[in-house]
Structure 1
C-alpha cells in the first residue's frame, strides 16, 4: 500500500534520529554539529561517498532544493567511504571542494552514523523533522519532487506548532583556492603539439604549451552552465576526443568533449574556440530510447570519450548508467555500444555485459580499452563487440598488487592510455599510482607512485604526461618502476544478515504526495535480482514487475552479494491535469549478506518512504 511518507511516519511509533557521530566536520568553520543544535530546522542527511556517480548526481539534484528552502533546510552530507582512499581526510577535503559541496559534511570513516541509521546503499537520503524525528528515507536518485513535498508539509506543520525556526544554517564556506588548473580530469595532445586539458572545477578547457604548464588559452568563462558559442560554459567537463581530420572537416569541429554534469557532448573548433552542443538533451537518461538522433537521446554523466576506429565513431563512457555509447558525428546519431545498465562485472557479448561506472577509455586501433572504477577493473572490447576483463574481481575487491593479471589489484582507476608497444598505462587513481598492463605477458606492474589522484595520461614525444588531478597540474613522473605486493582490500560495509531458505525481499517505495504509480502503459515497477556467486539464489532471481519478491537462499553459503535493480514510475494523481508530471525513480543495490541459520527472513530496501 502506498501512502504519503509524512502520513506513514505519523502512523508509526516516532523514531528519534540518532546523533551524528564521526571523525570530524567540514564546511562548519571547525565547529562540531549536533542534532540538538538543529532543532527547529528540517534536516536532510545525504549519505554519500565521493567515488559514487549516483551520489554526485544527488549533489546536483539537491542544489536547487537547498536554495529554495535556504532559511529552513539544513543539508548534512554524511560521508561514509567505500574505498580505503576515501577514508583519507585530505582526500575528503579535496572531494568536497571538487564537487562544490556547499553544506556541512560529517566525516564518517568507520561508518558509525551509517550503521546507526541502518543505511544499505549509496546514496541514501534521510529527512529529520524540526523536533528531531526521522520522517522519510529514500535511496538512490530522482527524489527531489518527493523531498520538496515532504519539506513543504513539514514547514506547514511545524510553523503552525511554533517549532520551526527560520534563519541561516551552520554552513561556513572555506577560503577559495587560486591555481591555474583545479582538479583537471583528462588531456589530449592536439595536432599543433599543445595539450588540451579539461579543467573540471573551473568548468572550462585549457590549452597548455607542450611543457604542460604555460597557459595558451582558456575555452569557457569558468561559470557553471551550458552556453554554446565563443563564450561557452560547461559543467565539470572531463573526457576529450580528437576527431580524424576528414571527420572534423565535415562536422566543423575538431574535438568532442564529455560535458559530464550537463549530460552532453560538446564540439570544439580548435581554430576558433567555438563550442557547439552535438549530442544529448541536457536531461539525464533514466529510461527509454538509447538509439536515434543525437540531439534527441538523453545521456547520463559521460565521463570519457575516444575515437574508436572499428566503429568509425566516438565511444562514450556513460558512467551514470554503467553503459558505453557510440556517437557518429557525421550522421549525428547515438546508439548503445555495450552494457545493460546493471552495475557489475560480467564479460561476453556487449549487449549482455555488466559495467561499473566506466571512467576511462583508450583505443589502440583495434581494441577499445576501458577502466571500470567501481569494480577497480581494466577491460577491453574487441571489434566484434565482445567484452573481456584483464584485471578486476568485482564490486567489493580492490588493492595495490602487481604480478599476473588474474591476481593483480587496482583501486578505483579513472584513466587508461594505449602505449606504442601494445601495453596500456592505467591511472590507478585511489592508489595514487600509474600502472602498466602488458597483454603479451599478462603482467601488471607499477610505473610511478605518489601521484595525487591521477585521472588520465597522454604521450608527448614518447614521454608519459599524467593528469595529477588532486595536485591541480600535469606531471611527468620519473620514479622508477616498482613491484607492489601490497594487501588486498574488501569494502568494509557491514553485511546484512539473512537466513537460509525462504527470503522476502521488499523494495519500499512511496510516490510523492499528489502522485500515483503510473500504469498507463503497462506495469509501473520493475525489479531485477541477481547474486554473487550465482548459486547463492536457487529461486527468485531474474526480472519481474512486483517490488516484493520471494527468494530462496541456497544452503552451503556463508556470505555473498545480492544485486538489486528497482525502478518505479509515478505521475500526477489528478484527472484534471492534461499533461501530468511523470518521474522514474531507480536505484541499484549491491547488498553484502551474511547467511546464518537463524537470520531474518525479510530484507527491506528503502527506495522512498518508510517501511511500514
Structure 2
C-alpha cells in the first residue's frame, strides 16, 4: 500500500458517504437555545471540528479557522463537536465556559459520551471533517496545519455547488452569548508586583489588569482589550490571550502572550509594552530552535519563570521548555524533544505534555534550586534541576497521558487532573493549581506526600503568595480568591479515572501501522531537503510493543504487539508531513506542515485487527 501520495498519485475516487447525524446529550451552545440537525445546514459547506478544551492543538485549530470562518461566513458553517478527554470536560458548564474563554464564534455540540465522535470514527483531537452542501463527507484531516488545504477545498466546493444550484448563501445559525460585566474574564496567571499590587493576565479580554493589594480594586488596564499584536503605551497595546507573568531582573514584567506566540515586556513604571521574543508566527517542525529572539518562532508560550540566570518558558504548543537570555537577546530550546508524553532524564531527551505552569525555587529554599512544572496533559508535577552535567527532568507526581483523578497520599499513587499552575511555598513544598479538580493541592518533597489545601476553587489556573495568604486565580469565577494557608490539609474522597475512549481490538503478533496522507490539491510532498515525512511510534506501557518502537521517515511501519505482555495499553503515534505548492511558475512556493499525535487505546484479543489506519489528511472527493 502506498501510504504517502502526491496530488498526482491519489487513490481512485471512492463512493460518496452520507454524513451521520450530529448527536450529543449535552446539547447545543451558541445557537440561542435552538437544537440543530444536519438538515439545518443543507446548502452550506460544513466543517466539523472535533475538539476538547484541554488540548493545545485544538486551540491552535480554533485560531487557524478564524480567518476562513470570516472570509466564507455566508457559505461555510463551522460546527464544533466537543468530545471530552478528562472527566471535567464532560461537565456542560465547563464546556460553556471554554466556548466563551476561547471566543468560539460558531455553534458547538456538547457530546460528553462521544456519540458523534464514534459515528465519524474519529481517533484523535483535533480532527476536521468537511461535509458538502448535499450532506456528503468529502474530506477528513487530523491534527493542525490544514488551513491552506481547507481554504482550497472550500473554494472548490463553493464553485461546484454554485454551478449545480445546491449552494445556499446566507447567515449561519451562530447566536452570540450575552456579554458579562466583570472586571476580569477567565484570568490566567497572577504576579505580586514590588509595589504590593497584583498584576493579572485577563486572558479572554486580551489585556493585563493591575489590581490593588485587596485583589479587587482595578488600578489600571494594560492593553485596549482587542485581540492583536501591537507594542506601545498601555492604553493602545494589544495582546492575544496573554497568560504567564514573571518579574525580570531589570524590573520589567515578562508576559507569555500565548496566541501571538510571543514574549512581551511590560514596564510597570512607564506602562510601555514591547516585544522580547517571537515573530507572531507559530513554530513548526523544521523551524529554528535557537537564535535571535525576535527572529525565532514560538508556539503557545503559557508561563514564564526566572531560573538559572535566564527566563524559562513553558512552551505548551510544542511540549517543551525554552529559555530566553536577556543578556544577548536569544532564545533556545532547553528541555523536551517535542514528543508528547512523560519521560524523565537529561533535558534534551525528556518528554513533556503541554507544560502550562512554572515556579522557581531558589538555592536557599529547602531542597535547593528547582524549576517546578505543571505538566497539564499528563496530570503531573515535574521539576528541573541543574548539576555538573547540565539540566535533568524528574517527575514528582503523575504517571502519563491517560491516568488522572483526585487522590491524596504518597506521590507514587497520588493523582491530579490537568493542573495549570504551581507555586513554591515558604517551607519548600509546592502548591499545585489542580485545575480540573477545582482544588489547590500541596506536594511536600520532604515526605513525598500529596494533600489537599482547598476545594471548590473553580478552575484554578495559578496562585501567588501574599504575606501569610495565598491568592488563587479562580479562572472560571473570574476573580482572585485569598486563602489562609491551613495548618491541616482538607480531606477529600479519592477518585481515579482513565480516559474513556473505545479501545481498538487488536491481535498479538505482527501489526501494521499506516498513516494515510494525501498532499492537498495543488500541493506535492516537499522532498527538496530529504524525506518530507516523519513517524514516531511508542506505547504505554512500553512492553506492549515487542518490536517497532522509535522514529523513522516512512508513514507505514510493521510493529510486533507482545503476546505475553499487557492485554491493554495505548499506542502512541506521532506523524508529520510537509507539502509545498505544486506550480513550476512560483519561484518561492508556500510550504505547509501537517502534524498530529494519536494516543489509541488498544485491547489484545484473539482475532483482533492486524492493521491500524490513521488519517493525517485524506480527500474523499
Question: Deviations along 1:447-503, whole A, 9 cap, x unmatched?
Answer: 000001000000011210000000000001358731234120000011122221121
The question of whether the paired residues in 1 share the 8 Å contact of 2:469 and 2:483 is answered with: no
2:43 and 2:516 mapped to 1: Cα distance? 28
2:599 and 2:559 mapped to 1: Cα distance? 16
* TM-score of the aligned structures, taking structure 2 as reference length: 0.95
Number of the residue aligned with 1:183: 186
Q: Out of 432, 449, 452, which is 1:443 matched to?
A: 449
The question of whether the paired residues in 2 share the 8 Å contact of 1:445 and 1:484 is answered with: no
Residue 342, structure 1, aligned to residue 339, structure 2: yes
Bigger mean CA deviation after superposition, 584-593 or 351-360: 584-593
Number of the residue aligned with 2:84: 81
Q: How does 1:11-410 map to 2 (within 5 A)?
A: 11-23=13-25, 24-230=27-233, 231-244=236-249, 248=250, 254-287=252-285, 288-308=287-307, 310=308, 312-365=309-362, 366-384=369-387, 385-410=391-416
The question of whether the paired residues in 1 share the 8 Å contact of 2:139 and 2:620 is answered with: no
Gaps of 5+ in 2: 363-368
Number of the residue aligned with 2:417: 411
3-state SS, counterpart of residue 147 of structure 1 = helix
Q: Out of 524, 528, 537, which is 1:529 matched to?
A: 537
3-state SS, counterpart of residue 268 of structure 2 = coil
Deviation at 1:585, TM superposition (A): 1.1
Number of the residue aligned with 2:365: none
Question: Deviations along 1:1-42, whole A, 9 cap, x unmatched?
Answer: 53669986x811111111000020000111111111111111
The question of whether the paired residues in 2 share the 8 Å contact of 1:604 and 1:611 is answered with: no
**What's the C-alpha RMSD, in Å, of the aligned pairs?**
1.5
Q: How does 1:467-482 map to 2 (within 5 A)?
A: 467-477=473-483, 481-482=489-490
Question: Deviations along 1:273-330, whole A, 9 cap, x unmatched?
Answer: 100001011111012221111111111000000111x2x0000000000000000112
Number of the residue aligned with 2:366: none
Deviation at 1:58, TM superposition (A): 0.4
The question of whether the paired residues in 1 share the 8 Å contact of 2:7 and 2:524 is answered with: no
2:542 and 2:89 mapped to 1: Cα distance? 30
1:6 and 1:233 mapped to 2: Cα distance? 46
The question of whether the paired residues in 2 share the 8 Å contact of 1:203 and 1:237 is answered with: yes
Deviation at 1:56, TM superposition (A): 0.4
Question: Deviations along 1:315-348, whole A, 9 cap, x unmatched?
Answer: 0000000000000112101011100001000111
3-state SS, counterpart of residue 235 of structure 1 = coil
Gaps of 5+ in 1: none
Question: Deviations along 1:59-101, whole A, 9 cap, x unmatched?
Answer: 0000000111111100000000011111111111111000000
Deviation at 1:178, TM superposition (A): 1.3
Q: 1:171 to 1:7 in 2, by over 3 A?
A: farther
2:10 and 2:293 mapped to 1: Cα distance? 43
3-state SS, counterpart of residue 138 of structure 1 = strand
Deviation at 1:583, TM superposition (A): 0.9
Number of the residue aligned with 1:588: 597
1:342 and 1:3 mapped to 2: Cα distance? 26
Number of the residue aligned with 1:489: 497
Number of the residue aligned with 1:426: 432
1:7 and 1:106 mapped to 2: Cα distance? 33
1:170 and 1:3 mapped to 2: Cα distance? 37
The question of whether the paired residues in 2 share the 8 Å contact of 1:183 and 1:200 is answered with: yes
Q: 1:211 to 1:114 in 2, by over 3 A?
A: same
1:600 and 1:610 mapped to 2: Cα distance? 24
3-state SS, counterpart of residue 18 of structure 2 = coil
Residue 548, structure 1, aligned to residue 565, structure 2: no
Question: Deviations along 1:43-70, whole A, 9 cap, x unmatched?
Answer: 0000000000000000000000011111
2:114 and 2:6 mapped to 1: Cα distance? 31
1:65 and 1:611 mapped to 2: Cα distance? 21
Q: 1:562 to 1:177 in 2, by over 3 A?
A: same
Bigger mean CA deviation after superposition, 582-591 or 229-238: 582-591
Question: Deviations along 1:575-603, whole A, 9 cap, x unmatched?
Answer: 22101011111111111111112111111
1:191 and 1:240 mapped to 2: Cα distance? 14
Question: Deviations along 1:228-259, whole A, 9 cap, x unmatched?
Answer: 01021000000001012xxx1xxxx6111000
